[in-house]
Amino acid sequence: MKFSEVIGHEDLKDGLRRAVTEGRVSHALMFAGDTGCGSLAMALAYVQYLNCTNRRDGDSCGECASCRKIQTLEHPDLHIVMPVNKKNKKAEEVVLSDHFMPQWREIVGRTGGYFTEQEWYEAIGLDNQQGNISVGDIGEMMRKLSFKSFEAEYKAVIIWLPEKMKAEPANAMLKILEEPWDKTLFVLVSQSPEVLLPTIISRTQPYRIGGVDERSLAAKLMSEGIAGDKAVQLARMSGGNLIEARRLAEGEESAGEYFELFVELMRLSYNNRHLELIGWAERVAKMGREPQKYFLENSVRLLRNSYMLHAGMTEICHLWGAELEFCRKFSPFIGNDNIEKLVYEMECALAQVRQNGNANIIFTHFALTVSKLINPK
């Protein structure tokens, strides 16, 4: 993947180019941000640029042997580690990332690196199971890196969602980062870096991948056939997230379901319907973890936009249709006294879901706490 294929983030690209030109290549980088904002795409583009033998115009050439092999994810010096799992929990065989490389090549090639964790699990048939990065994967990575480089100047490892490592693989990874091989690059691509060991974070060069700027994202959406005005609106509403923008453009039924869950939560909270709130929590707890995470992320977006409406900042409110209609009526109940607390509760619940906490406990506590913050009487 070339830098030109990564949407936006021109300042970050310039910084990465300068680091390579000036010989300041850190042995470990952390690209922290949502995949829909380009974190994985940026990691792939950086590795390709670093090992390109004919860089030009601030980008990899896309034509040399190194570029061609990295673009197809078949370079012998590029190793990928991603969360996987067994379809059959009773199976005794060790399951490694390498076993799923055909699916990884397909989904990266099809999406350009812009896909969700849940889409990856669906691609490998995990359904509602959670993937993880095992100590076996870290051991296999160490075995590969112990060999000399086959072709490239730098051996490179991209670890997608390193937060899926439990204690044993995380500690094994930490040891590698503390004693790296020469001319070896580790790129961690994380959506939840706060879950990682602080010692792992401290040994990486951090780069925050925020939302894509509206102009670049709108241009991408227009290239996919979305009309100009609508593309601009979607770019704003999505917070710079290509995946979210596409979801909004398609009018996914699930997006409407998440909105209805938000509306129900707020109405029950306002009316202090505690028994019904417990029933609401039980229903949400039965959803898969990925839908639960999306619901919470979407709820934070709706809350923040409601606060903007309350504060009279309509011009920067990124809502329309039913969402705008509801949040305009709901906004008087979101103000300086509760907005930070509400967002905090949602982000705490999101972190607990990501850590595979008990969903019934998480959402029952969450619903009752939100009720107190919406209607403290």
List, for residues 273-305, the tens digit of each pLDDT value. Answer: 999 999 999 999 998 887 888 889 889 988 988
Three-state DSSP string of 243-284: HHHHHHHHCCHHHHHHHHHHHHHHHHHHCCCHHHHHHHHHHH
Beta-carbon contacts of 344 under 8 Å, excluding residues fewer than 6 positions away, are none
Distance (Å, whole) CA 307 – CA 298: 14
pLDDT at site 251 = 60
Q: Are 45 and 60 in contact (CB under 8 A)?
A: yes
Beta bridge partners of 157: 79, 186
List, for residues 312-352, the tens digit of each pLDDT value. Answer: 887 767 677 788 889 999 999 998 999 999 999 999 998 89
Domain range annotation of the chain: 3-208, 252-374
Distance (Å, whole) CA 271 – CA 276: 10
Q: Which CATH class is domain 3-208?
A: alpha beta
The single-letter DSSP state of residue 98 is: G
List, for residues 44-87, the tens digit of each pLDDT value. Answer: 999 999 999 999 999 999 999 999 999 999 999 999 999 998 76
List, for residues 247-280, the tens digit of each pLDDT value. Answer: 877 765 446 778 899 999 999 999 989 999 999 9
Please state whether beta strands 205-208 and 28-32 pair in parallel, antiparallel, or not at all (unpaired): parallel
What share of the chain in percent tops pLDDT 70?
A: 95
Instruction: Record the pTM.
Output: 0.77
Residue 224 reports pLDDT greater than 50: yes
Distance (Å, whole) CA 146 – CA 82: 20
Q: Are 32 and 9 in contact (CB under 8 A)?
A: no
280-288 contacts at long range (C-beta below 8 A, 24 or more positions apart): 280/363, 280/367, 281/360, 281/363, 281/364, 281/366, 281/367, 282/360, 282/363, 282/364, 284/359, 284/363, 285/359, 285/360, 285/362, 285/363, 285/364, 286/359, 288/118, 288/128
Distance (Å, whole) CA 113 – CA 74: 16
